[in-house]
Structure formats: C-alpha cells, structure tokens
Amino acid sequence: MRNLDARRARGIKIRMGIVCGLMGLGLGVIVSGAWSLQIEDGAEWREMAERQRQRRLHVSPKRGTLYDRNGTALAVSVEVPSVSLDAFELLRGVDDAHAPGVARDAALRIARALTLDAAEVERRILTRRRFAWIKRRVDKSEVEAIRALGDAKTSSPPLRGLTVEGEGHRFYPNRELAGPLLGFVSPDGEGKDGLEMELDAELRGHAEEVRGLRDRSNRLIFSQGVQDEQAFAGHDVQLTIDQGIQFTAEQELDAAVRTYEANGGSAIVVDPNTGEILALANSPGYNPNDYGVSDVASRRNRALVDRFEPGSTMKIFTLAAGLAGRVIGPTQTIFCEGGTMAIDNVTIHDTHLNGWLTPTQILAVSSNIGAAKIGMMLGESQLYEALRRFGFGEPTGLPLPGEASGVLRARGRPWVSVETASASFGQGISATTIQLAMAVSALANGGKLLEPVLVKRVTDGTGALVREGVPHVRREAVPAAIAHTIAEMMVAVTEGQGTGVEAAIPGFHVAGKTATAQKADPATGKYTADRFTSSFIGFVPAERPRIAIAIVLDEPALARAGGYVAAPAFRRIAEATLRYLGVTPHGVQTHPIAKVSGEVDPADATYELMREAQGKTAVVREQATPSAPLGAGAVRLPDWKGLPMREAVRSAVELGLVPAVEGSGGLTQQDPPAGAALPKGASVKLVFEPPT
C-alpha cells in the first residue's frame, strides 16, 4: 500500500471496509437466523424433523383365541395382508396445479390392481392424509400387483406411499357352529356380538406404540422394539362348550325346525351338577366368517333373548313348590273336575277328562286343572316366591349380551285368582330357554339353583391363569328330598301313558316334562288358535343325572305338541351326548302302570304303585281276555292304547297289517279293538291324540 499513491490507497481501504461491513452484516443475519431457528423456534423445528424422520405405529396385539372345553379352537386370529396409502408421500413434490392429474393417473392404476372404484381411490389420494386403508384383506395376486406399482423396474413412474401391511383377521374354523353364541368381529377388530362382544376387553389386549426411523428410501427401520410381544396380547378364553355336543345339538335342532317348519328354536345342554353349559344351540344360525350376508334374525341368540310363555313345563316347579310348602303330599289325590273348571270368568280345560289324580299322574297326563289347584292351594305369594327361587323373572347371569329376564308378574301388582291358577301351568308369565335349563338342573342336582358357567378358564398371552369359572350356587330352590321326589315323578311323563314317551331312551330312566303353549296375539291380547311354542325339558339318567336339556321350538306348523315335536329332538341329543360322555345304560326293568285317565280310586293310587309306574317303558300289551282261536294267516290285535305313533305303527306293520293313522301323539282308539282277529294285510284304524 506504501507504493500506491495516497488517493488510490484510500479508495482500496474504503472498498475493503465496505466488503467487510457487508460480510459482517451477512454474518449477523446468518447468526440471527440460526438463533431464531435453533433457540427461539427450535422446539417447533425439532418436532417437525422428528415427524419427518420418525414414524409412530400403534401396534394392535393379536386377539385372543376362543377354545372349547377340550382345547379345540372355535375362533382364532390370523394375519392377512391389507393395502394402506400414505397420500402425502404419493404427492410429495407435486404442486397443487398438477396434483389432480397425478392423483387421477395413480387412482386408475391402483383401481385396476385392486378392482376398486377409481373415483373413490382418487378422493382418498387428494386428502393428502398420512394413512388411509385402500383395501383390506387382499389376496396374493393383489399383493403382487401393488408391489409391482411401487417397483421402478416394472412401473413407470413408480407409485410411492403404497404399503402392504399384515392385519389381524378373525377366523371361525367351524363355520356356522355356535355362530350366535360366538358373535363376530368387525374389520376394526372390535367384537360386535355374542362372546366376542362380551369378552372384547379381555380378547383384544392393549395396543402398544412402537417408534421407527425412515431411511432415505422412506423405508421403516425400527429403533425401539417391543420388549415382550406376549405381554400385551389378548387373553385366550376356554369355554365350557363341548364342540361335539354342540354339533349334535345344532344338527338335531335344525332337523326339528325343518321337519315341523318352525320359525326357529333353541336347545341348551347343561351339566346339572356344575352349571357348565355344554351346548347352546340356536336355529337358524349364521356363519360369523360371512356375517355381512346374514340377517338380524339369524344372528339372534334365541336361547337367552327370546321370551315365551313356558306352558306345561312350569307344572313341575309348581308341584315342587306344593310339596315343599306342604300343601299336598306325594300320594294325595286331587279331583280334576272331569277336564273343565271355571275360575272367575275363565274356564280352564284339560286335554284328558280326568277325575282323581295323584301328583305323579298330574305330571304324566299334564293336567292344567291339577296344577292350577296346587297353585291356588299355595296362594299368590307362595307361588310367586317359589318360582323366583327357581330363577324365573331374573337374568341367570350368563356372560352374554342381551339376556332377557322374563316376566313373572307386572311390577307392583299381585296376581288375582285366575292369574295364580294360570301361572301354575305356565300361562301369563314368560321365561327364556336358559332359565328353563337352569331351573330343571336345580331339580336334577338336589335342589340347588346354580349360576350358569360358560367361561371355564381365561389365560394371558404368557399362559398365566387370569381367572377361572367355578360352580356357584345362587340359592336353594327346594330341599333335596323334594327335588328327588319330583325327579321320580317326572319319569312317569316319559313312560307308560305319559305325554313325553317320545323322549324315552332304552336302558335309561328319563325325567322330563312336555309343554305346548298357545301364543298370545299382541293386537288382541287373546291367545291364538294356530300359533304355539312347543318345548321339552328334562334330565338323564334320572337317578344320577349327567345332563339336563331344554328344547324350545317357536311356532311349528306341521305339529304342535311338545311331546311330539320337541321330545324326539331331546331323545336324540341325549342319546348322542350320553354315548359321547361314555355313560352306558344299566338294565331298566319294566313294570305295569296304572291307567291314569278317568276316575281313580284314592285307596288304590298309592305312592309305591306310582314308583313302580316310573319304571315302566312303552311295551305292546297283549289282550289277556279269552278270544276265539286264530285261523290260518290271521293275527290277533294287541292293545296299543297309550303308545306313541312310531311304536304303534311299527308293531302293526310287523304283524302284517296296514295302519290307517289319524291325528298325532299317543294312541287313544283302535278299530277293531284289542283281541280281535284279522287276516294279514287287513287295515286297522289308529287314532292318536296329541299330548299337552
């Protein structure tokens, strides 16, 4: 600078000062911007950076499995591929002006790959959301097509933001088996019906948040893993249901519904000693794998939702209350008014025109008048309390949604005389199938009303026991001695001239009760003449019960008598279940039974005679009176009266005769009469009368 003149040197210094000032000013701006970016707005920018480079995933745990009592899976969760879209990533770098065109092109390509509506896919892309499902539960070919769209080698330009993710899907390997009982799971993993809904919190487990980093190719690299995958998985639930018994119950119930063209039905099989539900069947049912194609009626759990007037099945509980209240004795006779009795302004009728009947005979021929008289002896208060002790008028506590409590009487209003009488034989009140099953189980186990057990065991993902279902006695319904007496009396229903002979099982004493209840018309409030609820409840073996069964058919069209419609289904379910459980028959002796229709001499109707009658099985009775000798090729007619249609017709065919059948139920008339001689091939008229 010394070699320069003063004027030029001064100019250089000025220019250097200006440059240094500008550089200092620029540095100040940079420092100020850095201060603002890192200090003043640092938290906001750091959060944005974290959002861009990290991804938080809410991992839904695997839903727990539902098992039957033997460990067979009834409902399992499986991983299936689903396609999701990150619309923000797909449109990254595309300005607003070009976004619609890019979205339309991408939507067309995605729609072709997944067979979707292109307009709907385009709408989802234009939302620019970070996550949206495009199609759930796709097949292998669709997975390959989506992956090809994102591969630069096979697609130009490649589509970003498409992801194939594993998603939990509920699968029911047995299809329709126990559909209304199990329920179903919606696509978002939430239980919507049945056990899936009631136990949803335990089956779902709890979601876990997992963080991951994105690499330069936008691929996810997990930085924090799950410490113990099983720790937050859904609980596994083992039910008391037995798959084999459930299958049998559903098959036989469906067969009965189809045969008699009923609107529907329900059947429950219970271990009366523990309260465990071995089968809970509904007809019609549905396939939970395809719940979307089923109607609401098929998904209804009729066994605990439907209320109906139980009819004559209530007579066993009325009789138990009468014995427990000491208003009648086991050998006492009651006059049944010849089949007609007026109470207030109502007339009660019996199907059979009976005179004096013992309690056992009242059950055997299902006398409404006999039951009504016992109920009126008890009185409104005692009868009401007795039925409540058997669990009627309140939920059973079954862990399923929508259980009805039934109606025992209007709130706050006592029964009048005719209501007390009608409630004694099951009219004017309502119950559910599960209530009937648990009530008859109380008679089978010695008088203890048990809470039904459906969940046997719950374990967490690690196998540790969470809770266990154990038998629980709600209360004593009747003393043990009374329960055993009623059980012995119920055997007369299925033997001899009882209304439930179709429920008899060779080699076993079967305790049961039939019912054929008229349905009320809601419009008129009166009972209809052509709509009925047919049912049968009972247990077997009567001496040491292993199973109790309740069967209800709603509005059978081709026949209506419970002894004809529901009793055969009871027999078939009971036979198969006893074989399945390894219960073998022990030689049951047969004894003659006293004729129970018409007037009975009280001196002859002893308790011991009726105990013998309970060992009676249906047999063909040969005519004992002398008759003319038989000619060549002729046969003598046995006495078939009281036999069910099946046995009477079979006996006639075996003799070479042609039966002409009228009616249904038990045989009341035969023409020619017993003892007559007929040539083989002749016709014999058989008239049957339905039991009540």
Which residues are known to be catalytic? 312
Give CA–CA dist 690/499, Å, rounded: 8
Read off the amino acid at residue 556. P
> Token match 């076993």: residue?
508
CA-nearest of 253, 240, 244, 179 to 536 is 253
Half-sphere exposure of 179 (CA within 13 A, CB side): 21
Please tell me whether residue 82 adopts helix, strand or coil conformation: strand
Assign residue 114 a region: left if phi > 0, alpha if psi is -120 to 50, beta otherwise?
Answer: alpha
CA-nearest of 319, 574, 304 to 435 is 304
Helix axes 567-581, 243-259, angle to 10 degrees: 160
Residues 6+ apart with CB under 8 A from 632: none
515 has which bridge partners?
Answer: 535
Read off the amino acid at residue 527. Y
- Do the beta carbons of residue 444 and residue 539 sit within 8 Å? yes
| DSSP secondary structure of 572-612 | HHHHHHHHHHTPPP-----------SB---TTT--HHHHHH
Give CA–CA dist 492/190, Å, rounded: 50
Structure tokens at 485: 């007496």
> Token match 């038998």: residue?
471
User: At 18, phi and psi to the nearest 5?
Assistant: -65, -45
